[in-house]
Structure 1
Amino acid sequence: MKKLKIEIVSDIMCPWCIIGYKNLAAALDQLEGEIEAEISWKPFELNPNMPVEGQDLAEHLAQKYGLSEAQGIENRNRILDMGERAGFSFNFSGKRIMINSLDCHRLLTWAATEGKQTELKLAMFKAHFTDGVYLNQQEALLDVVASVGLDIERAKAILAGGEFFQQVRSEQHALQQMGITSVPTFIINEQYAITGGQPSDAFVQALKQISEQEA
């Protein structure tokens, strides 16, 4: 069986990141017995200058991407459809906000040392996109941490201090130096890149090709 190292550059504020991951997971299921993947997550802040209180999602999309209300609705419907196909439920009802995700990335970096990075990442995606949780509110964020069995007091200490701040910044800088400017980006064995929320068939084809080249 071929083993591949897959580093996923992503932000929990990015819907295409969870769509891409779910399709990657489906592809790996199809390739069970042929390819085994070691998955880790790398930090990317879509909105590094976002204030702590965040911003209304529709307002943010209009300002950042110039989307009209109609275009915003069309975009959300496309995401809902792609999410359903990938097996993930998006929910855009109620007031949705865009936040800066630095604290989330700090906790995810810590979670990697505890062997729970993917669990926490998926819990954050669900909290943000399905449950409408405001992850810029510490108690809500700590509830997500607790849901995957991580220590709350340790997480509080991380949020209160500067732990993992420099590591996140260093990883982001290294990724920028590699020319990565969008998410999701899937880095395979530190030398191949697959970008975007690709369908599972595209991942199957790409992973097979890479595994053959690495043989």
Structure 2
Amino acid sequence: MAFSVLRIPFFLEPGYDESKPFIETNRERLIHKWGGKRGWEAQKQRHDLKGRGLEAGIPHFNLDRLAANTMASHRLIQHIGKTYGLAVSEAIYDLLNQYYFVDGHSLNDKPRLAKVVAARMQELMPTEAPTQTKLLDFLNGDEGREQIMHALHALNQLGIQSIPKFIIEGRTVVDGAARSDTFVEIFREIEARGVVQGTAIFNDVLGVSDEIVEKGSHLPPTSMAA
């Protein structure tokens, strides 16, 4: 089964100064958010992020990663998806997860972001990849900001105030903290019926063409054993 994933921008800290490469470490952010170390420790026990990361093959989350305004990285992911396709933007999204959550780099360090993403895109599409300079020019500009703001407004209209969330077939909302069997059950139901009922609800808001969505972000293997 092939399907498309649109990554909808969301700001954990919308008040962060966009002009600064980073504001604080994530450890500091979470201690502030949960009212001190005791509250933070209680929240860690409830979420069990470390344990769930181990289940997913992520041995380490960098608690001292540099937290920053994420407008630039949201704009970049959307730009890559619209320009080069959702399969490419998903590969870059995976890269940025490693870059931030594990390596601890800021998502608003624009020179570093441009360098790392340009190198990965050169591996993915050697003849079409944008240069580091071109990506940095984009990050230093304003293209895509309006669409990001429209998407944030749409999320507010839907009453979505926290992440992660998945909106499947434009109607079924699943909390991202749900276990994998929840998602498997939903996708097996779609597979069994053989047709998608509903449509993407954010592609128009984000300016992603129907053609890009229809090409998919996750495709079945091109060859299978007999």
How high is the TM-score relative to the length of structure 2? 0.70
- Percent identity, please: 26
Q: Which secondary structure state, in structure 1, belongs to the residue aligned with residue 166 of structure 2?
A: strand
Q: How does 1:56-205 map to 2 (within 5 A)?
A: 56-68=25-37, 71-72=40-41, 75=44, 78-92=48-62, 95-113=64-82, 114-115=84-85, 116-149=88-121, 150-151=129-130, 152-205=132-185
Equivalent residues of 2:8, 2:151 under 8 A apart: yes
- Tell me the equivalent position of 1:25: none
| Aligned-partner residue type, residue 124 of structure 1 | L
Q: CA deviation at 1:42?
A: 0.9
Counterparts of 2:179 and 2:78 in 1: how far apart (Å)? 27
- Write 1 or 2 for the structure with the bigger share of strand: 1
Question: CA offset at residue 102 of structure 1?
Answer: 0.7
Any stretches of 5+ residues in structure 1 without a counterpart? 1-34
Instruction: Supply the RMSD in Å over aligned alpha carbons.
Output: 2.4
Structure 2 gaps of 5+ residues are 122-128, 198-226
- Residue identity opposite 2:175 in structure 1: T
Whole-angstrom CA distance in 1 between matches of 2:102 and 2:37 = 24
The total of aligned residue pairs comes to 180
The one-letter amino acid of 1:206's match is: I
1:89-144, CA deviations, whole angstroms, 9 ceiling, x for partnerless residues? 43326x43321111100001101121221111111100011112222222221123
CA contact (8 A) 1:120 1:148 kept: yes
